[in-house]
Amino acid sequence: NITACIFDLDGVLVDTAGYHYQAWRLMANDLGFDFTELQNEKLKGVSRIDSLKLILGWGNVTKNEEEMLVLAQKKNDDYLKMIEQMTPENLLPGAFDLLKYLKANGYKVALGSASKNAKLILDKTGVLPLFDAIVDGNIVTSSKPDPQVFLKAAELLNEQPENCVVFEDAEAGVEAALRGKMHVIGVGDKNILADADVVVRSLDEIELG
Ligand code: G6P
Ligand code: MG
């Protein structure tokens, strides 16, 4: 019996996944290479620094720790510029109604995201007050598919993992939820999220009430 819902942020509640991709591509192009949308799937749910390492590997580019920090900072500056104008309009279809429905019906709601920008984005899109707990990239030390981010969220909500359902758009996120012994609803492509218990194209497909 489900008593709590844990949401990924990028690509589930907000349409920021494309901005992450754009900002990383800018960096890759500056370094003289490019990467595909299929490769980009591997970055979803993965922390900023781990994403950077994967991308540099694809381009066969070697950088030291200090250079990597500069690149990660530049990517984030570009990304922040892209999301600067974000408003509640940027919530994905069905996100707001689902969050409101869950609150109104006594479910606990948490965020489980690898992003260090999560609170900023929840604030800009007006849904920050709807969350009982927020676990973001400033708290977690192990990237998805490690279940840490979701287990921490369950702990903060005071819920057992088996009573939680995770909403995820990333392969790594689906795996993290399963490793944490939680239920998982995939949001996106059925083929990519094949391991999820259920897959919807978008949150507005979920019937409320
Ligand atoms: C999410 C996104 C990733 C992103 C990560 C870190 O998991 O799916 O694409 O790299 O958060 O985000 P940040 O905003 O901290 O760079
Ligand atoms: Mg995501």
Q: Is the CB of 76 under 6 A from ligand 1?
A: yes
Q: Is the CB of 16 under 6 A from ligand 1?
A: no
The answer to whether residues 93 and 206 touch, using CB atoms and an 8 Å cutoff, is no
* Active-site entry in 10, 34, 197, 204: 10
Report the 10 Å Cβ neighbour count for 132.
Answer: 17
Q: Is the CB of 143 under 6 A from ligand 1?
A: no
| Ligand 1 atom closest to 118 (CA) | 14
Q: How far apart are the first and last CA of the chain?
A: 16
pLDDT at 7: 98
pLDDT digits (tens, 9 = 90+) for 10-24: 999 999 999 999 999
Active site residue 10: yes
Distance from the CA of 14 to the center of ligand 2, in angstroms?
9
Predicted confidence (pLDDT) at residue 209 exceeds the cutoff of 90: no
Q: Is the CB of 23 under 6 A from ligand 1?
A: no
pLDDT digits (tens, 9 = 90+) for 37-95: 999 999 999 999 999 999 999 999 999 999 999 999 999 999 999 999 999 999 999 99
Give the environment of ion ligand 2: residues with CB less than 5 A.
Answer: 8, 10-11, 44, 169-170
pLDDT at 36: 97
pLDDT digits (tens, 9 = 90+) for 122-141: 999 999 999 999 999 999 99
pLDDT at 86: 96
Which candidate, 208, 209, 187, 12, places its Cα nearest to that of 110?
A: 12
Q: Which ligand lies nearest to the CA atom of residue 9 in the structure?
A: 2
* Active-site entry in 8, 77, 123, 197: 8
Which candidate, 97, 94, 48, places its Cα nearest to that of 72?
A: 48
- Atom 12 of ligand 1: nearest residue by CA position: 115
Which candidate, 202, 195, 173, 200, places its Cα nearest to that of 45?
A: 173
pLDDT digits (tens, 9 = 90+) for 155-193: 999 999 999 999 999 999 999 999 999 999 999 999 999
Active site residue 78: no
Q: Mean pLDDT score of the chain, rounded to an integer?
A: 97
The fraction of the chain above a pLDDT of 70, given in percent, is: 100
